[in-house]
């Protein structure tokens, strides 16, 4: 167990609904990353935080997506008005300082949009 936890592990929702995922990083890690992984592909970077500051957002992150890390500890990723194309595994990872440090991944949240 790498220490990164994500909840829920699975989420099934209907198109148009909002969903929120939570990530709890390893406690001393100040970097937190969100990725999306679809079947047969590698993880795609979405966004990352250093402490509570969101430092970068991918162009993949449309305005229906928002991420927060209010106290620099856990993070939430919200998807509004879900679409079938949002179906994927959403992975969270954390690292001690920067991407050049090992990133430890959580187990992911599998989202299915019907």
Partner 1 sequence: GENVEQHPSTLSVQEGDSAVIKCTYSDSASNYFPWYKQELGKRPQLIIDIRSNVGEKKDQRIAVTLNKTAKHFSLHITETQPEDSAVYFCAASSDRDDKIIFGKGTRLHILP
C-alpha dihedral sign at 3, 106, 108, 22: positive
102 lies in the binding site for partner 1 (CB under 8 A) = yes
Task: Give the residue among 98, 99, 54 at the shortest CA–CA distance from 76.
Answer: 54
Cis check: omega of the bond before 8, within 30 degrees of 0: yes
Nearer to partner 1, 72 or 107 (CB): 107
Which residue's CB is nearer to partner 1, number 12 or number 98? 98
Size of residue set near partner 1 by CB under 8 A: 23
- DSSP string for 64-103: TEEEE-TTSS-EEEEESS--GGG-EEEEEEEESSSTTSPP
- What part of residues 36-75 is at the interface with partner 1 (CB under 8 A)? 40-45, 48, 55-56
Span interacting with partner 1, options 18-26, 63-71, 74-82, 95-103, rule CB under 8 A: 95-103
Interface contacts to partner 1, rule CB under 8 A: 2, 31, 33, 40-45, 48, 55-56, 91, 98-100, 102-108
């Amino acid at each position: 167990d790498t220490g990164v936890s994500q909840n829920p592990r699975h989420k099934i929702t209907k198109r148009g609904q909002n969903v929120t995922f939570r990530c709890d990083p390893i406690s001393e890690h100040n970097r937190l990353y969100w990725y999306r992984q679809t079947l047969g592909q590698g993880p795609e970077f979405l966004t990352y935080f250093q402490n509570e500051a969101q430092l970068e957002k991918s162009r993949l992150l449309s305005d229906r997506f928002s991420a927060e890390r209010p106290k620099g500890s856990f993070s939430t990723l919200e998807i509004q008005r879900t679409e079938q194309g949002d179906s994927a595994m959403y992975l969270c990872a954390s690292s001690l300082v920067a991407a050049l440090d090992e990133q430890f991944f959580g187990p992911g949240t599998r989202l299915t949009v019907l």
